[in-house]
Structure formats: C-alpha cells, structure tokens
Amino acid sequence: MALKFNDNLLPTLPIMEDLPMDRIIGITSTIPIEIVFAAGYIPIDLNNIFVCDPSSYKMVEDAESSGLPRNTCAWIKGIYSATMKYRIKKVISVIQGDCSNNQALMEIFQSEGIETIPFAYPHSRKDKKFLQDQLAMLADSLDADYSKAEEMKKRLDTVRAKVHEIDRLTWAENTVTGEENHIWTVSTSDLMGDYTVFEERAGRFLKLVQDRKPIKHALRIGVVGIPPICEDLYSFLSSIGAHVVFNEIQRQFSMPYSTRSLVEQYSEYTYPYDIFSRLEDIQQGINQRNIKGLIHYVQSFCHRHIHDSLIRKHIQLPILTLDCDRPGRLDGAMKTRIEAFIEMLENNDPSGISVGTPIRFPPQMGGIKGGGYSRVLFKT
C-alpha cells in the first residue's frame, strides 16, 4: 500500500486525509509494531500527529472542553483530540508500562464508539512469559500470524539499523544535530506508518551527512526523560553552543539492542520498566558519549516526575530539570534558565554553590503555554 507523504528528507507523518481509514491503528505509545505491520495495518503514533499539528495547543484546549481535566498530562489530551480530529476508529492503548491515565482514556474512547485493544508490558522485564502472552494476544486481536510478525522484526531490524547509524553519527562524528537525532529516533515508534518510505529517507539522509563538516560545539549534553513537548528546545540549545548527543527515551524507541526475537527485543526496551534499567542505560550513554550535563525533561502531571529524585541520586552530573505543560515555544524565562545552565557547564564552575544544593525557579506566569519550572542540582 503506497502512502502519500509531504516531500521532506526528515521523517514526516503520512497525509492523514489520504489514508484508508479502515487500515489505520492509532497507538498511544511504542508497542510491537511488527505485529501491526504483519496484520496489514498502518500504525500511527497519536503522540506524533498531536505534537506535529499546527494547532496542537488548541487540541489540548479542545480536549478540556470535551471534559478531560485541566490537571491531566497534555499528551493524554492531545492523543484524545488527535483521535477525534482524524476519526481514527481503532486504538492500541498501553495500559501498563506507560502513562497511568491510559486505562481511563481507553474507556473514554470506548464510550465514543472507538475500538480499543489493550496492551500491557510486565512489571518486570524478566517476566518474559507475561510479555510473550501479551504479544500473542495482540496478534490474535489483529488476526496476525505471529510467525510473520517475527519475520517482520527481521525486516524492521534493517530499517532501525539506519537510525542507529544516525544516532552514532550524532555523538561519534558530530555530523548530525541533536534535533535531527530527536526527529529520527522519536519517529521509529511508528516508522511513519510505512517502513519502506522511512528506510528510503533514512538512506538519503545518511548520504547527505557524509559531506557535512563536524559540528564544532564543544559542550556535549544529553536529554533524558520523555520526548519534550516544547517545539524549539533543540534548536535553542544548538544556538547557544550545546550539542545534544544523547536522547534517552527516543533512542529506546529505535530498539537499540541486538536481539533475536520480539520477546527479547521488548524485554530489553527500557522505557516501560523500572527506573533502574533506565539509569544503567543513561550512565552507559554518559560514559560512551562524553556527556558533561543532562537536561531531564518532565511533563506536568506525569507520574514519571517522581523519578527526578532518583536520577539525581544516581547520576553524578549537573542536571537541569525542565517541567513543561503544553505545546509551544520556549519563553524568555525558560531560555534564561537554560542559558544559565549551559554557561555553568561551559565554565565548569558552580559559582560557589555547595554540592547537593538545588537552585529552584518558582513557576512563572506564561511560561511554555502555561508555565513550568526548572531546577539545577550541582554534583561532583
């Protein structure tokens, strides 16, 4: 099935209006898309069509007007509005291992006449029987031959390998920007709904960067936590001399480990499981990529915000925590906070602040379409 896309070298979404509606399956988070493709469906990450929509801010407001609470994560509200806007009729919802609000959102979808298919990751990544059962149940729900899904994994391994090379070029050769890295890796959650087109674009992108000169930014930083909802974080960081060489969760979407089966692959994927497997991955990234500081992005009203204290406890680097609510551009106050953090890293001087002492910025009126706060904690 040939999907239509806008002409762009970077990953983009399919032109939604041209898609066969009976073949679309919306997904609320990264799920085993191998099964979706093997069943002949088109996986579309609802997060992506929300945050890439020109009216993403209004989509949050629309969800609130429809009854979703204001003190609910903007991603949940965006997923709801994206599903309604594009009249998606079938959704796979991750009810364990992702957002704690997905169960209730699935019930709202059901009340709207939308077919929902639950998928749950096990509490422990070691519980492979539970994961195997969930994979088999998903295949049964979509009338997919599970053996074909395993074959699809091998096909997608070759596609993802190109994104792994883009990731390597970001930190090893410095020829890919942090923003490009973010776009490519975050897009692996659904591979644009067409892995063939995705692979072709990735191949062209790799040829393009062969002729690039290395990025000269001396400061290498990482972004950990869920993908940011603010649209210009990466471009702003680049403009002030910071090269993002590690996008933690986005990289996990690309399934960065060599595995032999779907069970093994989705057991190694760190995002749905406890923070400790993520901490191990973050520390490896810091060591391998020579990272000098981290930005921990947290989403307002997200339960994962609690992990901030554990990341600070176990990662021995300066960390700036950015808490954002709704989609939009960074405002002046947020830019000032980021600039101060980057300047501190460049000078390698915590200005006499004692180790372990946090600098707290109170919430600002306005902020990123509704405000937020940031915090720096210096460590040795």
Pair 28, 99: CB distance under 8 Å: yes
80-to-60, 99, 118, 227, 296 alpha-carbon distances in Å: 9, 13, 16, 18, 26
Pair 229, 75: CB distance under 8 Å: yes
Q: What is the pLDDT of residue 301?
A: 62
Quote the CA–CA distance of 296 and 298 in Å, as a whole number: 6
DSSP symbols for 29-59:
S---HHHHHHTT-EEEEHHHHHHTSTTHHHH
Low-confidence ranges of the chain (pLDDT < 50): 1-7, 349-380
First to last CA, the chain: 54
Number of H helices, E strands in the chain: 15, 10
For the range 12-20, what are the long-range contacts, defined as Cβ-Cβ under 8 Å and sequence gap of 24 or more?
Answer: 12/52, 12/192, 13/44, 13/48, 13/49, 13/52, 13/192, 13/193, 14/42, 14/44, 14/192, 14/193, 14/194, 16/44, 16/49, 16/86, 19/44, 19/193
pLDDT in tens, 324-369: 887 889 888 889 999 999 999 999 744 433 233 333 333 333 333 3
Tokens 């925590």 -> residue:
321
Q: What is the pLDDT of residue 300?
A: 65
User: Do 152-377 and 16-149 fall under one CATH topology?
Assistant: yes
Quote the CA–CA distance of 89 and 162 in Å, as a whole number: 32
Q: Residue 326, SS3?
A: coil
| Sign of the alpha-carbon torsion through 200, 203, 209, 211 | negative
Q: Which residues, 6+ apart, have CB-to-CB distance to 138 below 8 Å?
A: 31, 32, 35, 92, 117, 119, 144
Taking every pair of Cα atoms in the chain, the longest distance, rounded to a whole number of angstroms, is: 63
Quote the CA–CA distance of 75 and 59 in Å, as a whole number: 10
Write down the domain spans for the chain.
16-149, 152-377
Fold for 152-377, please state it: Rossmann fold (3.40.50)
Instruction: Tell me the backbone φ, ψ of residue 43, rounded to 5 degrees.
Output: -75, 135
Quote the CA–CA distance of 184 and 202 in Å, as a whole number: 8
Tokens 């674009």 -> residue:
201
φ/ψ region of 31 (left if φ > 0, alpha if ψ in -120 to 50, else beta) reads beta
Tokens 């509704």 -> residue:
370
Q: For the domain 16-149, what is the CATH code?
A: 3.40.50.11890
Pair 296, 376: CB distance under 8 Å: no
Quote the CA–CA distance of 118 and 101 in Å, as a whole number: 13
pLDDT in tens, 10-19: 787 777 778 8
